[in-house]
Structure 1
C-alpha cells in the first residue's frame, strides 16, 4: 500500500509539536519554568537552550562571554569567595559590569516566561493534534527521528561537550558547543592545567591557568552533559507522539474492517515504539495481508513512577536529574574557585565538586519528591498489533515479527 496515504505531516499546523531538519531536532515540549530560570542564572543563555530557543541562547551565551570577560566579573567573584575583597574591587570594570546586570536579569525572567508560553503551545498542539514530519533529507545531511539512549548522549558530552548533542542529531547545537568549549579551554589554558594536575604538579597548574576564562568551564561542562540527556529524551518522546498519531490516522483511513473466516488465523504481537513497528507493518503488507487486517494500537502510559534514569525503551520525560545537575554545577564552580588556594588545584577540586554536588543534589531531590523511585525505567510494550491473515502465511508472519524485534506474540485460538 502506498505509504503516502498515511502521511502524518501533509498539513501545516497552527501550533507545531516539533521540527526535524538537517540542522537538528526541536520540540515544543513542556519544561519546568523554574529549572529554565535556574540555568539562566547559572549562565545566561543556558535557560533558553534548555527550552529549545537556540538562537536566543547563542546570542546570550556570546554576550556572557564578551561582557563578563571585559568586566572581569569572574575574577571579581573568585577573589570575593576567597576573601580578597580589595583585589575584587580593584579588578572589576564597573562600566561593563553595569551593562551586565540588566541582561542577566532579563535572561532569567525571559526563560521563565518562555517556559510558561511553551507549555501553552504544547497544550494547543495536542488539542489540534498537530502532525510531525519524521525525517528530513538534504544535500548536506540526513536526519531521521529515531529512538536513542539518553545516557549515551550524556556520556559522550562527559568526554567532550558537544558530542552528546551531535549524537542526538542536533548538528548546529553540537557544533556551537564543541567550538565554544575548545575556544574557552584554549583561553583558560585548561588542557595544560588538567595535565599538570594529574601529574601532581599542582603549583604549575595554578600558575598557568587563566581564572577569568577557567570559571566559565564548570557551568558549561555540567550543562552540556545535562542538555544532551534532556534533548535525547525529548526526541524520544517526540518519536512516540509522531508514531502514535501515524498509527491512529492509519486505522481511521483503513476503517480496520473485521473479518471472520475459517481459513484465517489471528496473531497479536507487542512492540516498543520504534521504526521497526512501521517496517513490520510494511513487511506484512508486502506478504499480501490486507492493510485493513493489520490493526496497530498504541498503548497509553499508566506508569506514574519517577525514574532516575530514562532509557531508550521507556521514556517518561521525568527524572530527578534536574536537582542533581544543579548541585553538580554549583559545587564544581565552588571547587574550581577554592582550588586556586587549596593544594590539589582547580581541576581536581572542580571534579570533586562536580561529583559531590551531583550526589548531594540527587539526595535532596529524592527527599523533596518523596515518591517511590526506580533507578532505571523498565522496558514495556507500547504498541499492540493485531493481524488477521491466511493460515498459510502464519510461519512467514512469525519470522517477520522476530526479525523486526517484536517483544512477544500470541496466536489466538
Structure 2
C-alpha cells in the first residue's frame, strides 16, 4: 500500500498542470501497450487498450476479446485540474521596483495557502504553427509575499486578501517589459519566443511531497485533489485490463472540474458521451450498453478536521487510512444511490479493503463532483467516492499513505465487476 503512495508522489511531481497529468498518464499507458485513438482518425473497435487525448482531458479503455456491441461499461471518472493561480494573457506587470506576474484565481483556491511559498510555473505554449509545447519550471521562480505583521497589526484577527492586488507573485527586480515572461519560458522550452502565440500557465508549489507523522503514515503533497484519484484510476484500469470479461473498463480524467465542468473538455461537454457511444457500437446499441453500465465518480473527500470537528456530521466522519469514503448527499450533490452504494460495497469486499461513509453536516453545504453531471448527461448509474484529505483546495494537502492503495484495489474490482 505504501509503495503506491510513493508512486502517487512521483505522479503528482510529474503533473504540475492538467496537460502534464495527461502526458504522464499517456506515458504510463503507452509503456504497457495502449495505443492512441485520434479523434480525427478512423475508429478502432478491435480488442486491446487505447487512449484518447484532448488538451487536459484523458480517456482510456480496454476492449476484451470478443466483446459484442452493447457490452456494458465500468467507468472511472476523475479530474486532472486543481485550484491554483493562472497566468493572465498579458503577464508582465510590476510596481515599486518589482517585476511581477499577473494572475487570476482558478477554482475555489484557499488564497492564503499560496502566500510565502516557493512557486514554479507550468503549462503549455501554443505556437503559430498550431502545435503546443509543454513547459515546467520546477524550481523556485515566483513568490506571493505576505505583508509583515508590523505593517498590519490586526492580521491575526482576520486576513483579508484582494485577488487583484494581493496575489501577484514577484519574480525579480526592475521594470516590467512586455514579453519578458514568454521569452523566459520559450527559452525553458527551447522554442523561438517569436513563435509563441498564446499560453495556458499555472503556478505550482515546488516543495516535494513528503511522508510525515511519527509512523510516517501521512502524505503531504500538492494537487491531491484530484491527482490522487487520477493516479488510482490509471492503475485500476491497467490492472482491470488483465481481468476484464463481459464489461469494458473505461478511465476518464476531465479538465475544468474545479470551475464547473462547462467546457469542451469538461464533464458537462459531449466528449465522454461520444466515446462511450462509439464503444457501445453506435447510437442504436448504446441504450442497452448504458443501461447496464456503471460509473465510479472519484474525487477526494473531507477528512474530519481535529480543530474544526463542529463542521462535520458526528456520525459520518472519515479519517485517513480508513479506506476511501462513500459520499452521499440527499440533494444529489453526489450521485450515490442505494444500488450504486451496494456495487461499491461489493467492490470493497471483493478487494478486501475498508471503506467509510461521508455525509456533510446539515448546516454546512458540501461541494460536488463530475458524478451528478455524468449521471444526468448519460443516464448511467453513478456512485461517488474518494479518499479523505485535510486542507482540501490548499496549495498543499494531506492524506493517508494507505488510502491510495485501498482506492486502486477497490476501483479495480469495480471496473471488472460483471454483476
User: What is the TM-score when the length of structure 2 is the normalising length?
Assistant: 0.26
Whose helix proportion is higher, 1 or 2?
1
More strand by share: 2
Higher RCO, Cα 8 Å, sep 6+: 2
Q: TM-score, normalised by structure 1?
A: 0.27
